[in-house]
A = this chain, B = another copy of it.
Amino acid sequence: MEGTYSRMEIGIVSTGDELLRGAIADTNAAWMAARVFERGLMVRRVATVGDDLADLTRAFEGAIASFDLAIVTGGLGPTDDDLTSQAAAAAIGVRLARSDEAAIQVRAAFERIGRPMLDLNLKQADLPEGAQVLENPAGTAPGFALRTLRGRIVFLPGVPHEMRAMFERHVMPLLPETVRHRAVFKCFGMGESNIQDALRPVAKARPALRFGYRASFPEIGVSVTAKDAAALEEARVAVRAALGRAVFAQDDIDLPTALVRALAARGLTFGAAESCTGGLVGHCITEVPGASACFRGSVVAYDNAVKTGILGVAAAFIESRGAVSEEVARAMAEGARRALGADVGIGITGIAGPDGGSAEKPVGLVHMAVADSRGAAHRSHVWKGFDRARVKRAAAWTAMSMALGRISEDR
């Protein structure tokens, strides 16, 4: 076990039939484990159980006996298969009772979202006696915490954005303060094993540092934790040198956010011409609050007539070189600048698959270009063995990375 500074024993219980049916992967547990690890601790065990009262009760009993802090997600909703509160009461040996405080929070949550509350929804306020109510700022089901012999067991909703908000607010303060200093390097364009290889000498020379890796395709986050600030600053320089241009931010932000910030800082506007990415660039850019300061729009030119019509790509290029070609990508980037009135434009055209490939132009081939007042740059890549969704994502990220590189003087 690496990176464990404290002796606090932490366990996770993930609940829900959807996990045991394989309908979704347990990303909640991975997210929480990463947050715990970033704090210099490591989760000891994750147990996943279904919506079955006996299984839930046994899992909670086991977690209460084994861990100083047990974190449970899921099963707090109003429906019949939401059994977490009932099982928690059984595991701790108390009754389930309506909590006035929780009922007030449920009512307030429904008022906030402007939806009528059904009587059924008040089931979410039936908690084990003695429970501490944990407010849910992002949803209608409050969480709760119970004292145990070894410490605490905390119950959070399973909806990821609700769980995350509540974890930050209610669970992070329970973790011991380890004196720590932490830097995050967000990377794109290098695989996780290449990153680890590149950092091996850095880590070897500095055994007191803890390195953590978190992949969120196609980005990789490297976190470096040190016990004192000077060691971290010294390491920061070494990590930056080892990873070079793969680092797009020294901050826990994604590439679209880094691009929006760089554009805004320079007072530049941005537009996209997207074929195979289908709107993904525009979608990701507009997930960033404040994107309207720099984002003009995107032309999703899935059909060739849209490429020639709105973007002004010469039909002769499409005929002679094909829609998936360097010439068309460059013309699309220029077309995005012109049609959208943007300072910086990108163009993306490719074959996301599963069909449409040929020997000469295989599935996974994408041409990407970026254009500004100084001209245009181009890159192409074949993402072999990637499915449609991953080709789109890899292409969108490459094009945004090219745009970020072009406007960042120091890159």
Contact = CB atoms under 8 A, between A and B. Distances in A.
Interface string A381-411: 0111111111010000000000000000000
Interface of A: 1-3, 17-27, 29-37, 42-52, 55, 59, 77-81, 109, 112-115, 118, 120-121, 138, 159, 161, 191-194, 196-197, 212-217, 272, 274, 276-283, 285-287, 289-292, 295-303, 305-306, 309-310, 339-341, 352-356, 382-390, 392
A25 B26 contact: yes
Given A55-B44, A192-B79, A281-B279, A303 B340 contact: yes
A85 to B, nearest CB: 16
Q: Which 4 A-B pairs have the closest CB atoms?
A: A278-B286, A279-B282, A22-B34, A279-B279
B279 A283 contact: yes
Per assembly, the copies of the chain total: 2
Contact of A283 (B23, B278, B341): B278
29 contacts: A1-B17, A1-B52, A20-B33, A20-B46, A22-B36, A23-B30, A23-B213, A26-B46, A44-B49, A45-B50, A46-B46, A46-B47, A79-B193, A81-B212, A118-B197, A121-B193, A276-B286, A279-B279, A286-B300, A287-B392, A289-B388, A296-B302, A296-B305, A297-B301, A298-B299, A298-B300, A298-B302, A299-B299, A300-B300
A395 to B, nearest CB: 12
A42 B55 contact: no
A340 B192 CA distance: 41
A21 B33 contact: yes
A45 B213 CA distance: 27
Contacts of A305: 296, 341
Contact of A19 (B21, B33, B272): B33
A385 B114 contact: yes
A282 B297 contact: no
Contact of A79 (B36, B196, B286): B196
B19 A30 contact: yes
Contact of A120 (B46, B109, B115, B193): B193
Q: Which of A113, A280, A286 has the largest count of B CB atoms less than 10 A from its CB?
A: A286
Nearest to A384: B114
A30 B25 contact: yes
A25 B46 CA distance: 12
Contacts of A21: 2-3, 33-34, 37, 42, 212-213
Given A282-B279, A300-B279, A300-B282, A46 B19 contact: yes
A29 B48 contact: yes
A278 B3 CA distance: 38
Contacts of A31: 22
Nearest to A28: B25
Contacts of A45: 20, 47-50, 55, 59
Contact of A278 (B32, B217, B285): B285
A272 B388 CA distance: 21
A138 B388 CA distance: 12
Nearest to A161: B387
A295 to B, nearest CB: 5
A340 B306 contact: yes
Contacts of A37: 20-22
Contacts of A42: 17, 20-21, 50
A282 B296 contact: no
Contacts of A193: 77-79, 118, 120-121
Nearest to A352: B286
Nearest to A45: B49
A68 to B, nearest CB: 16
Given A42-B17, A289-B355, A1 B214 contact: no
Given A55-B44, A212-B21, A279-B298, A388 B32 contact: no
